């Protein structure tokens, strides 16, 4: 039986075909073609933006209950189909099946959360400084949003960008990441099945040219991008030229500080989860483990034992704990950084070799590297794989300085039993998110998400912070 999907764009409520020069292979078994894909371009983006612009007046002026009901139904459908969607996600991206199903449920809950937020687009009544004058503010939809999504969370991130945009009355043109269009396409089908009107959500599949066409389009009023710093900088420049609003999430080199007073078992669990699960392909992964002298050697030995025991294999195997990298390019990148760290004086405590598997896939052996210093490339550049390095420091103050010593500032963590150090770290670490005795990679969907420094630009994503980006405030004066 051929399980290969044949994907089309979604434009104005219809599937629009095109040439299919691309194919998506299963990272766990590269013999399997998961999907054949069209290669869209400026023409498809023009059609999608025109459809979104046409759909905007009716969608933005509809009762908020209409928008709420559509998103709630979509969330229900996503969660009802968690097994099939999770399996598709795992076949396409390489997450373990448990992770794929978990991410799918998260997407469903995001949709339902913003179904509620659609009913809470509130304003304020204020007294004017002038007698007899009334002032009111209201939140209004902005227009057409271009959403450029990454491959590492191929259903959750499309949901957390699209759901608030739609909830507050905007319309959408989305470009899914090149390696994972099938999962985003399945979400698009569910949105239409849930009752979204034609043109309110459009999906254009293709390479970087599609994203550039969205960024440059004069009728796209806002841009939300998740990806690399280099591409994000171009998105910001393109938005500035047109005075479009923009929101960027661009990765991290996240520190996890382990202090001498930490519970060792807890510290190992936190580091293992935050650094290695989801194949380390999370922008919030804790890739820098900053450990004080008194616990360093015990921590490294205990973590290395747990890392060496991780089971790497086919994403759909129930025994697998770490799936493959998403692509050959990502696998090569991971191993190149391991070589860079080794050549720079790092000590490979465990991992670093090739993975023996029953199927041809882009597997990477989870790797722990010790004896590194903060100036090494392994500690300055995002690897995006199951690779973590340790940095030995003498005390808390040095640990904090090292934690703050990169251009990134997305997530951060500390493991300690000291309330003093925990609270001080929360105040002084330069990161958008701080975890105390928790993995850096675990975030909730109903609170703001984002970083500082070069990790993020613009308003926060997710939760109650999303309204700041996806609406604009109007202030109205009237003389009674």
Active site residues: 249, 283
Residue with token string 């910001």: 236
Rounded (to 5) percent helix, strand, coil in the chain: 40, 20, 35
> For the purposes of burial, counting CB atoms within 10 Å of the CB of 129, is it exposed (0-12), middle (13-18) or buried (19 or more)?
exposed
> For the purposes of burial, counting CB atoms within 10 Å of the CB of 228, is it exposed (0-12), middle (13-18) or buried (19 or more)?
middle
Tokens for 315? 């994403």
CA distance 431 to 410: 5
CA distance 389 to 387: 7
156, containing H or E segment: helix 156-167
Residue 380 φ/ψ, nearest 5 degrees: -120, -20
167, containing H or E segment: helix 156-167
DSSP 463: G
Whole-Å CA distances, 178 to 237, 358, 361, 383: 22, 26, 18, 19
**Torsion 303-308-309-311 (CA) sign:** positive
């Amino acid at each position: 039986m051929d399980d290969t999907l044949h994907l089309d764009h979604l434009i104005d409520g219809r599937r629009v075909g095109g040439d299919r020069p691309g194919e998506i292979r299963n990272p766990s078994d590269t013999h399997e073609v998961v999907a054949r894909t069209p290669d869209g371009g400026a023409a498809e983006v023009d059609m999608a933006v025109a459809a979104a612009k046409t759909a905007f007046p009716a969608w933005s002026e509809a009762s908020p209950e209409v928008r709420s009901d559509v998103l709630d139904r979509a969330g229900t459908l996503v969660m009802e189909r968690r097994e099939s969607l999770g399996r598709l996600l795992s076949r396409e991206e390489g997450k373990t099946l448990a992770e794929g199903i978990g991410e799918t449920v998260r997407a469903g809950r995001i949709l339902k959360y913003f179904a509620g937020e659609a009913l809470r687009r509130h304003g304020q009544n204020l007294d004017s400084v002038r007698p007899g004058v009334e002032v009111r503010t209201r939140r209004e939809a902005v227009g057409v949003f271009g959403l450029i999504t990454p491959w590492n969370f191929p259903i959750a991130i499309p949901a957390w960008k699209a759901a608030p945009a739609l909830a507050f009355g905007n319309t959408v043109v989305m470009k899914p990441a090149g390696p994972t269009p099938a999962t985003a396409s399945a979400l698009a089908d569910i949105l239409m099945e849930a009752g979204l009107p034609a043109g309110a959500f459009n999906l254009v599949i293709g390479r970087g040219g599609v994203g550039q066409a969205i960024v440059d389009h004069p009728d796209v009023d806002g841009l939300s991008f998740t990806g690399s710093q280099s591409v994000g900088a171009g998105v910001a420049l393109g938005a500035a030229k047109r005075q479009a609003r923009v929101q960027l999430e661009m990765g991290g080199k996240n520190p996890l500080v382990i202090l001498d007073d930490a519970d060792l078992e807890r510290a190992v669990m936190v580091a293992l989860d935050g650094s290695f699960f989801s194949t380390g392909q999370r922008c919030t992964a804790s890739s820098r483990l900053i450990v004080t002298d008194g616990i360093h050697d015990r921590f490294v030995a205990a973590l290395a034992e747990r890392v060496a025991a991780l089971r790497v294999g086919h994403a759909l195997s129930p025994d697998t704990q770490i799936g493959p990298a998403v692509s050959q390019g990502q696998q090569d990148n991971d191993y190149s950084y391991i070589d860079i760290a080794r050549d720079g004086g790092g000590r490979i405590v465990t991992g670093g070799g090739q993975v023996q598997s029953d199927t041809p896939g882009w597997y990477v052996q989870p790797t722990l590297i010790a004896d590194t210093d903060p100036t090494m490339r392994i500690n300055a550049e995002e690897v995006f794989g199951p690779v973590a390095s340790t940095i030995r420091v003498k005390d808390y103050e040095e640990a904090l300085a090292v934690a703050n010593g990169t251009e990134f500032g997305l997530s951060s963590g500390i493991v300690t039993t000291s309330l003093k150090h925990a609270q001080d770290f929360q105040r002084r670490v330069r990161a958008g998110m701080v975890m105390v005795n928790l993995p850096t990679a675990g975030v909730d969907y109903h609170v703001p998400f984002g970083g500082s420094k070069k990790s993020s630009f613009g308003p926060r994503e997710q939760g109650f912070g999303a309204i700041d980006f996806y609406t604009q405030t109007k202030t109205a004066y009237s003389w009674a």
